[in-house]
Amino acid sequence: MFDLFKIAVRNLIRYKRRTFLTASLIAIGVIFVLVFISVSGSFKNLIIGQVTDSMLGHMQIHRKGYVASLDSLPLTMNLKPKAVEKVENVLKPMPEIECYSKRIKFGGMFSNFVETTNIRLNGVWPEKEFKTVPLLQSRIVKGDKGIKKGEILIPELIEKGMKVKIGDSVVIIATNQDGSVNGKQFRVAGVLESATGPGGRDGYIHIEDARDILRMEEMEISEIALRLRDFSKLHQIYASLQSSLSSQRNSKGKPVFEVHTWEKLSPFYNISRMIDLMTFFIKLMLIAIVLVSIMNVMIMAVYERIREIGTIAAIGTMPEKILSMFIIEGFFLGIFGTVCGIVLGTVSVYVINIMKVSFDFGRNTGLILSPSIKVWDILVISAIVIVVSIIASFQPAFKASRMEPIEALRHV
Amino acid sequence: MGMSVVIAENVYKSYLVGEISVEALKGLNFTIEPASFVSFIGPSGSGKTTLLNLIGCLDRPNSGNLTVVGTNVSNLSRRQAASFRGEHIGFIFQDFNLIPILTVYENIEYPLLMVKNTPSAERRKRVYDLLEAVGMSEQKDKYPDQISGGQKQRVAIARALVANPKIVLADEPTANLDHHTAYMIINVMKKMKDKLGTSFIFSTHDPKIVGEVETIYTLEDGKLSNG
């Protein structure tokens, strides 16, 4: 086998320029794919981080049907204390869940005593909320980095539109689930920068204040946002939660809860899927590049070496050995191009990291890309190139192995 | 004298040139004994190369029986023919046909390595013996494009003999060499025949080297005129 490798390598060295050009083409393809995967992956992770850590959390649990009517923030679909307790009994023993935050979500009117506008509010336990969505505090661009009772964090849009300042008194008016209206005065404690995605323009108050305004006799919860210790286990934990909570049925035998990952809650998931789709097509392009370039070079190699093939066949070399010789040659060409591509691709990604390329996404500005190459991606790309190299070499190699020595020896 | 290495019985071979069927060999009958030094001579188109191709199992006769080293080779499959060639036949080509990416040593070693899978120590001994015998020890690490035509043909002879074949076939082995070198090559072949007991069968139309040959068959228009 070693001798077949030696012959293959020498044949590649024999046509230096052609080998270099073909390997360069493969390397460029590999660099392109690696840089694309790492940059798009970095972009994706950054935005997913923004979406989940600013407001959504990694997962959310609601009463069944709540998400379908999320736009109206229906108070009638809140979870009752018993239901919340059942959920917490499932969540607390799970070590994979870092923390969770219970929220009361509702719509109301915001008045500065001169003008009135509508507002979406989240009543939260501040400490738990800040742990569950750690970027929330960094979104507070003015005022206190916390939420106390009697205080409100308002979105930037309302601050500007209603000309409200930190420390001003405002009134929140809301209708409770019985239809009665109630109002409560708040001090503006901070201003929240908007974030892309659902809930990105919401205000925040303490959960006890939300209960007061909505005149809840007992603490009802609209949603429970979860943060996982390891985000990569999202789907695994989702499946586990889903199975635990789906066993909870109401008196009509229907499921009480619904669990959603961030993917079902944010429109960015569609962009993320488009990025995945583009990555898939970029990989297809790489396959095409490798297939065409290797097949072309191997067809040329066979054509130029017809007399040599005739000679070795006449000497008694078996067809399968001739087949192996050419396949190994294509295989090495693929490996050479892949190794060059991986080295140069890694260097390119390193350079992008050094350059600290920044971009804006929605209202998030100055996000810095930090692309990285995963070992898994390198393995997948290498496997693609190597397998395609072998496939591309097969046809010319098969032709060489089937050549009649007498005809090959006559070839001029 | 042992069993004949080649027995041809009424061998016919024709092939198509365009739409015209050309009869290259017309009922040949001859035998070649072991350790003989035989030449088929004749003008171009007389059928010399066609006959060597049949003996070398590179082609098959249309009719008749051709027995080479005790095997009827008239109906061997592709794989059987390849295996038979590797086992029993060595080839020397007019254009030397050395593999350009292999050194002199590696070219000679090729049949043992890639065809017969001979163990390393035995391979090494055999290659060194033949390098010595054809006077190419000094050039063993050179590539074919670094040696002369005569030296290339010596390497080709060594390569043809390295697997210890019963027969070496040489189609116009001296056609691309000057007279002096051609004479030397013929002598190397004769020496190897005497040393190893291999039968050398070659075609030529060079009258100057015909004198060195033990047995001559003259082919004219696909027939043996002195068979």
A11 and A82 in a single domain? The answer is: no
Residue A144 resides in a domain: yes
pLDDT tens-digit readout, A281-307: 988 888 888 889 888 888 988 999 999
Are the beta carbons of A319 and B56 separated by less than 8 Å?
Answer: no
A245 and A313 in a single domain? The answer is: no
**Structural domain span for residue A32:** 2-51+270-410
A175 and A306 in a single domain? The answer is: no
Residue A58 resides in a domain: no
Residue A56 resides in a domain: no
Domain count, chain A: 2
Give dist(CA B59, CA B44) in Å, integer: 19
Q: How confident is the model at residue B207 (pLDDT cuts 50, 70, 90)?
A: confident
Statement: residue B227 has pLDDT above 60: no
Mean pLDDT, chain A, rounded, equals 89
**Structural domain span for residue B218:** 35-61+75-224
Domain count, chain B: 1
Facing residue for A7 by CB, picked from B82, B101, B116: B101
Statement: residue B1 has pLDDT above 60: no
Facing residue for A316 by CB, picked from B53, B86, B100: B86
Statement: residue B193 has pLDDT above 90: no
A86 and A127 in a single domain? The answer is: yes
Residue type, A351: V
In this prediction, residues B18-30 reach a mean pLDDT of 87
Helix%, strand%, coil% for chain A, nearest 5? 55, 20, 25
Residue B140 resides in a domain: yes
Are the beta carbons of A315 and B101 separated by less than 8 Å?
Answer: no
Least confident window among A177-181, A197-201, A284-288: A197-201
In this prediction, residues B196-218 reach a mean pLDDT of 83
Highest average pLDDT, of A203-207, B59-63, B175-179, comes from A203-207
In this prediction, residues B169-178 reach a mean pLDDT of 83
Beta carbons of A52 and A262 less than 8 angstroms apart: yes
Question: What is the chain B residue with the closest CA to A11?
Answer: B101
The two structure tokens encoding residue B201? 């069968």
Statement: residue B69 has pLDDT above 60: yes
Residue A60 resides in a domain: no
Residue B75 exposed, middle or buried by CB count within 10 Å (0-12, 13-18, 19+): exposed
A247 and A305 in a single domain? The answer is: no
Question: What is the chain A residue with the closest CA to B161?
Answer: A315
Residue B20 resides in a domain: no
Which residues of chain B have a CB within 8 Å of the CB of A308? Answer: 97, 99-100
A198 and A333 in a single domain? The answer is: no
A251 and A277 in a single domain? The answer is: no
A35 and A156 in a single domain? The answer is: no
Residue B103 resides in a domain: yes
CA distance A383 to chain B (A): 29
CA distance B86 to chain A (A): 4
**DSSP line for A81-133:** HHHHHHHHHHHTT-TTEEEEEEEEEEEEEEE-SS-EEEEEEEEE-HHHHHHHS
Residue B22 resides in a domain: no
Beta carbons of B141 and B109 less than 8 angstroms apart: no
- Specify the pLDDT at position B2: 61
Residue B104 exposed, middle or buried by CB count within 10 Å (0-12, 13-18, 19+): buried
Residue B185 resides in a domain: yes
Residue B16 resides in a domain: no
Q: How confident is the model at residue A389 (pLDDT cuts 50, 70, 90)?
A: very high
CATH number (domain holding residue B105): 3.40.50.300
Residue A197 resides in a domain: yes
Residue A374 resides in a domain: yes
Least confident window among A136-150, A160-174, A352-366, B158-172: A352-366
Beta carbons of A385 and A72 less than 8 angstroms apart: no
Facing residue for B58 by CB, picked from A14, A321, A406: A406
